Amino acid sequence: MFKNLKTRCKRHLVTPSLLVRQLVLGAVMTSIISGFGFSTTAQRRPGSQVSANDFPGADLGAKINAADKALGSKPGEIVVKGGGVISTQVIISSDHVLRLLPGTYVTRTSNIPILMKSRSSVIGSGWESIIVESTAPNQFTVISAYNQSVINGKPDSALIIRDVQIKGANPGFNSAPQAISLGNCSGCTVDKVWINGTRSIGIQLGGSSREGYFAENSKVTNCLFTRVASQNLALVNGKNIVFEGNRFLTSGQRGGPGNTNIDLEVNEGADHLENITIRNNTIDVRNSEVPTTGNGIVAQATSGTPYVGPILIENNTIIGGSNQGTITNVLSNGIYVFGGMRNVTIRNNVITRTGQSGIRIEGTQIKVIDNRLTDVGGGGTVGFAVLATNSQIINNSLSYSGAGPVDGTMLILPGSRGNTYQNNRGFTLSGEVR
């Protein structure tokens, strides 16, 4: 965001002395370092920094807004330290950075506490920079893209959120709002954010497609999700999206609405699920406080949209329960693809101890290759289920630890045809294999 400015000095002195030249150079350098420039000899560098704590305001939110206003339309950074109470909705202008130093920032707004205009950033100092969910009734969103907050489906762009913790506090539950709501955001990044015990959806990309927009060229990386009550990480309408290197632990809460850890789910007929990558994520629900948490990774397109695929699900680790000591089956399905899905590749994933199928696919042109499953299925539920056409199921394996339920059936459901099944070790093919 910061661009270098060239210091321009026009010398009108004829054969200046060495002393004069040193004085001029020293004054120019001092002006650059201090952030103040001479109007005729140097330009002020962009990216001015102000301290919100020094501005007047009834609460920390009002102080931040005053600091944002003081920066005007120029790029700059608003530094906040020590935590505090945000009772006034914060709006971060374009090209401004809200930098939160370590502290607990408690939101008490009845509307969304922090709105980000395009090209703005919220950056903490690590997970000691804590933003607490509002306790106001039905207020579950903590940070939202600005245009998305005005009209669901309007586009936003170039938002950055990183190095903060979002902590749950609302006494209620919901299954629709999102702690971080990016909507149809283009070129946006969420990185190294901890979503900790929030009471609805954790992070979501994609809004309504009615305005003709979708999330694009955006990513959620290196984030931690713990005890998220609803979907942890969701995409409802997007293209060129990456979810990579995230960890999902102990998902779900007692009394909550139930959840899926990673959920690709369209809602409207013009929504997009195109060029999506879900890679190198870890899902581990062994220590969840609820006995059943939902699914690991879901990709579904039940709205009839034609904008589906390719989707890549690779190198993820999914642990759905314990196969040592007390045996648990907390997770339902490991990877579940259904509802008109096509052009999906599921490869090199490791899935352990699921209450239902380790992998279940429904659709066409699906490749399931080189996945390793352990202790999946059982109790009348098959370990692997296929309802697909023109697909490849190759070189997958099933192993059994010797503890708890398991089912080594790869069930080919009615309607499946034109598929290739090769070298699926440990599985027994059953059903309509043709």
182-229 per-position pLDDT tens digit: 999 999 999 999 999 999 999 999 999 999 999 999 999 999 999 999
Q: What is the pLDDT of residue 103?
A: 98
Q: What is the pLDDT of residue 236?
A: 97
Q: Residue 29 CB: number of other CB atoms within 10 A? A: 12
Q: Residue 126 and residue 337: Cα distance in Å, rounded?
A: 35
Q: What is the pLDDT of residue 10?
A: 32
CATH number of 88-431: 2.160.20.10
First CA to last CA distance, the chain:
57
Note the pTM of the prediction, 2 decimals: 0.88
Q: Residue 107 and residue 122: Cα distance in Å, rounded?
A: 15
Q: What is the pLDDT of residue 1?
A: 36
Q: Residue 6 and residue 53: Cα distance in Å, rounded?
A: 32
Q: What string of DSSP letters covers 273-329?
A: EEEEEEES-EEE-TT-SSS--EEEEEEE-TT--SEE--EEEES-EEE-S-SSSS---
Of 190, 110, 189, 117, nearest to 156 by C-alpha is 117
Low-confidence ranges of the chain (pLDDT < 50): 1-46
Q: Residue 298 and residue 335: Cα distance in Å, rounded?
A: 6
Domain boundaries, the chain: 88-431
Q: Residue 16 CB: number of other CB atoms within 10 A? A: 13
